[in-house]
A and B are shown apart, each in its own frame.
Chain A
Amino acid sequence: MYKYDTYDQKMVDTRVEEFRDQVERRIAGKLTEDQFKPLRLMNGLYLQLHAYMLRVAIPYGTLNGTQMRTLAHIARKYDRDYAHFTTRQNIQYNWIKLEETPDLLAELASVEMHAIQTSGNCIRNISSDQYAGAAADEVTDPRPYAELLRQWSSFHPEFSFLPRKFKFAVIASDEDRAAMRLHDIGIQIVKDGWDKVGARFYAGGGMGRTPMIAPLIREFVPIGELVSYAEAILRVYNRYGRRDNKYKARIKILVHEMGAEKFIEEVEAEFVHLQGQNIDAPAAELERIIAHFEDPAYEVGLTEDIDRSDPDFAVWLDQNVSAHKQPGYAIATISLKPIGGIPGDASSAQMDLMADLTEQYSFDECRVTHSQNIVLPYVRKADLYALWQKLDEAGLASPNLDLISDIIACPGLDYCSLANARSIPLAQKIAKRFADIDRQKELGELKLKISGCINACGHHHAGHIGILGVDRKGTENYQLLLGGSGAEDVSLAKITGPGFTEDGIVDAIETVTDIYVASREDGERFVDTYRRLGMDPFKEALYG
């Protein structure tokens, strides 16, 4: 994985000291809250419902054991012994003290981490495929290109005050595990007919109050011009994006209102203008970055056999372990979705254990997924049973990847000052209702996603089943949505009709899954049956 050079480290260290000075000036009264707020937000420090919340960037979701252990240490020393992995592959601490934040950031910097650009109208943490570098279906590892974009976008003076926040996702396989087309810019690394690497660009996607699927902007950009094409899109957005209304300021609104064709014309004109200005990284720099992501030292001649005699292990193996490009290896997903637990939360002890397992079993590398789980990307098949035993002992071996209890849920009204309704208790109730693993497996792949408000941090638009919490005259109410997907079959979910109470929505989910089970054809997932039948039978069962 990428290691900071002296420039990276200096930038982060300098920012820590700059923020330390700003905090001291705020506490001393030399800065008002109005003056200080944008400064703390640029360093990922929000004021949430109960306290300050710090969002720490995890570039493309990749961590080593030392970094994971430091995240555990920070949870123990500066927070309340736990933290929350987010749908942006980041981590959040919910109970941070302003006066301790500079010391916390210094500890993060010591392991090449920071909270820069995790808030504000700038280019945010770049997300990617959690199986990058290990997936059998990718054309190349997408992370060097995500890293190049990270370096380009960090402290980019022209793009520090965009009309609104801006999110990239970079993948390199046809299977989309990163909700790529629901980003401001989605990039798929591809190869052309001559085996040359390039980037397919999508722009203008997103969730929130106006969900949009990003249209294709350019089929192939030579990889050497990745940065200048991204810059061309950002320049067009920065010039024409609306600043008069924050709800219409995202690039998706610009692309929609301008029309994709006209938007492309503008981008291409800007791209021509930028060519020859030498803003792309020299080939040697890209090679330097790529070298950081070379394959680990795989052993060869390893056994492919796995002893399945422990039935509980076999269930986990079938559900949470994925194919690897390297013979003898597998990709293992650690579920942070125990039945009745809080999706994405991990205790310090669990993070310490995951750090140990990362070092012991996965070439010192793990990944945070946008589904709020943790991936060990390089596990020898021969080690899977020992790994599972240690996970099971720590409550981290729920065999529910992509099943109905593998719920994405935002923090909701339990933590978030923007939320209208709670998400977590609902996720807990649904998981308990469908706790039986045989029943979950019988339902098959079913992506259930819950947001506590229209901002859609819980990706409800992209759920096979989505739930949106709303405030109905001071009472929590939940709208049900069906038919969304953040994968390569991307689609936006549609609202079924009037909302439900907290208990009513759990019953409603059982109702729609019953319709699916009764109506499905061979091999159909929930979303396939919904697409074939349409909304009517589900609506009829829900509302009569």
Chain B
Amino acid sequence: MKILTGNELKSGDVVWWTGYNWSRHVSDSIEVGDNVDQIIAREIAARTVNDCYIIDAERTDTGLLPVHIKEKIRATGPTVRSDLKIAPPDPAAGNWVI
């Protein structure tokens, strides 16, 4: 299962493709499959994101989540500063990594 992620051009914030725009919450992601070249080309051309790529994800009770630890940390913020964590709807999000 694949989801699409990137960094917003102006802010650099990590963002996730929702099917029609970008969200800062990974739980808003949709499955995109492998064939996303058109979306990537369009979004980069629109300068909303400076780069984007697909990653492996898995379905959980609260939506799709990255599989790899690096993308999990990217999705939730540094594991060592709870005050900097992104707060998706999942109250257990802080436990995804540690």
A residues near B, CB below 8 A?
Answer: 26-27, 29, 33, 47, 49-52, 80, 95-99, 342, 413-415, 417, 419, 422, 424-425, 428, 474-476
Contact = CB atoms under 8 A, between A and B. Distances in A.
B14 A50 contact: yes
Nearest to B98: A425
Contact of B12 (A51, A413, A428): A51
Interface in B60-90: 67-70, 73-74, 77-81, 84
Contacts of B81: 342, 414
Contacts of A29: 47
Contacts of A428: 80
Given A50-B78, A51-B13, A413-B73, A474 B84 contact: no
Interface residues on B, range: 20 to 34
Consensus secondary structure, chain B interface: loop
A33 B51 contact: yes
A338 to B, nearest CB: 13
Given A50-B77, A414-B73, A425-B98, A27 B10 contact: yes
A425 to B, nearest CB: 6
A50 B98 contact: no
Given A97-B10, A414-B81, 19 more contacts: A27-B10, A27-B47, A47-B7, A47-B50, A47-B51, A49-B73, A50-B14, A50-B74, A51-B7, A96-B12, A99-B10, A99-B11, A342-B80, A413-B70, A417-B70, A424-B78, A424-B80, A474-B67, A474-B69
B20 to A, nearest CB: 21
B81 to A, nearest CB: 8
A475 B14 CA distance: 22
A98 B77 contact: no
Contact of A425 (B10, B74, B77, B79): B79
Nearest to B70: A413
B41 interface: no
A544 B10 CA distance: 54
Contacts of B78: 50, 414-415, 424
Query: Which residue among A29, A96, A99, A414 has the maximum number of chain B CB atoms within 10 Å of its CB?
Result: A414
Nearest to B46: A29
Query: Which residue among B13, B67, B70, B77 has the maximum number of chain A CB atoms within 10 Å of its CB?
Result: B70
Contacts of A50: 12-14, 74, 77-78
Nearest to A23: B10
B36 interface: no
Interface string B20-59: 0000000000000000000000001001001100000000
A26 B69 CA distance: 31
A98 B69 contact: no
A415 B84 CA distance: 12
A183 B83 CA distance: 37
A52 B7 CA distance: 9
29 contacts: A26-B9, A27-B9, A27-B10, A29-B47, A33-B44, A33-B51, A47-B7, A47-B51, A49-B14, A49-B73, A49-B74, A50-B12, A50-B77, A51-B12, A52-B12, A80-B84, A95-B12, A97-B10, A99-B11, A342-B80, A413-B69, A413-B70, A413-B73, A414-B73, A417-B70, A422-B80, A428-B80, A474-B67, A476-B69
